[in-house]
Amino acid sequence: MKKVIVAAMAGIVAMPMPALAQGGIVLGPPQFQSYANRGQCESALAAERNKQRKDPATRGAGYEDLSGSDFNKASRTTTRCEERNGQWVVVYYQNGF
């Protein structure tokens, strides 16, 4: 069973049901916004991953004891950038993709 990915999840607001219907949970403020292009989205996601990789206390339950490398591997299986409704957003998949 995959655990909740990162501490970012704690303060993140999920988008309404239409976003959920497409699969995954769209992550929002304060860590993420909607972005005009994939590069901006990937950059924001990479910055958050790096922040959490460096400070295990900022990670979600079950991820605090992972090495930085293992944390990055786990994160890459559950979060990614996707284009939805003409905007790029960070999407979390609890069971991976």
Mean pLDDT of 16-37: 78
Is residue 11 pLDDT above 60, yes or no?
A: no
Per-domain boundaries in the chain: 7-92
Helices marked H in the chain — which ranges? Answer: 17-21, 38-54, 68-76
Mean pLDDT of all residues in the chain?
80
Which pair of structure tokens corresponds to residue 12?
A: 């993140």
* Segment 37-63, tens digit of pLDDT: 999 999 999 999 999 999 999 988 888
Q: Is the peptide bond before 30 cis (omega within 30 degrees of 0)?
A: yes
- pTM across the whole model: 0.72
pLDDT at position 1 = 33
Tell me the sheet residues that pair with 2.
none
Looking at the chain, how many residues does it have? 97
